[in-house]
Structure 1
Amino acid sequence: MCDTDHGYVRGWGVTEETVGSKKLSMAHGVIPPGAGATPHYHPFETAIYIITGTCRVLLGVENNRFVDIKAGDFLYIPTGVVHCPVNCGQEVMEYIVARSSPQEICLYPDQKYSSS
């Protein structure tokens, strides 16, 4: 597992680097209470399954839509949608994330993705 710049601990189990995946990645992670991310997006689809805890997620900066998720919930984030998860609960949020890319690519709203 590795610490990231937004309070997560994430262990990538399936990636291009770990198993030679060509179109998929999966990881296990935790977000401590009070921790969260800076608004960002990915140039691929993301699906998250919440194992424990709760989280509030900003989905899209145009409409500032917030979604509250909890243990047992799935969350789908389409390609290019800016999002920002924050653990507003009192316990660690544990999750599994799957993405339609073998690599971790995280961009911020003022950045554009170029595959070249």
Structure 2
Amino acid sequence: MAAQRFFVRRNEVEGYHPANHTGTTNRRLIGRDTVGAQHVEVVHGTLEPGEGALPHAHPGLEQVCYVLSGRINVKVGGQEAELTAGDCCFFPAEEPHVVVALGESPAELLVVYAPPYEENPDRVIR
């Protein structure tokens, strides 16, 4: 039996372009396929300037975004804010939201989903 994996390096995880996003590259750091996580998923996302997540919601799934670098504009629940490194936002289940990178540099985010999203089309409403 193989040893349980607990450590993940971003550069060792293959990037993918998520559905319903433009100019976005994600890397699933923590999930079933990397460490066997069953109840949480952590994704590193890079959004090119002017690009990001189109309007969508996740049924039965909560999401948190923590800004690592750059600037983003976020719309959720009738509220709008510009967030920078060190800022965080919460998207309740079923609540439509939009995220767009601002400025001249890419924005980097750490995204947490509970339960795991896994790019499952049944877990997104567009």
Across the aligned residues of Structure 1 and Structure 2, the Cα RMSD in angstroms comes to 1.6
Q: Deviations over 1:51-110 (max 9, x none)?
A: 1111111113xx3x212111110111111110010112221101111111223345234x
Is residue 16–residue 103 contact of structure 1 (8 Å, CA) maintained in 2? no
Larger Rg: 2
Q: Answer yes or no: is 1:54 the counterpart of 2:71.
A: yes
Unaligned runs of 5+ in 1: 110-116
Unaligned runs of 5+ in 2: 1-14
Aligned length: 106
Partner of 1:88: 102
**Which one has the bigger strand percentage?**
2
Q: Deviations over 1:24-50 (max 9, x none)?
A: 000111101011221011121111110
| Amino acid in the other structure paired with 1:66 | E
TM-score w.r.t. the length of structure 1 is 0.81
| Amino acid in the other structure paired with 1:95 | L
TM-score w.r.t. the length of structure 2 is 0.75
Partner of 1:99: 113
Residues in 1 aligned to 2:33 and 2:95: alpha-carbon distance in whole angstroms: 25
The counterpart of 1:17, out of the listed 17, 29, 33, is 33
Residues in 1 aligned to 2:88 and 2:29: alpha-carbon distance in whole angstroms: 19
Q: What is the percentage of aligned positions where both structures have the same residue? A: 28
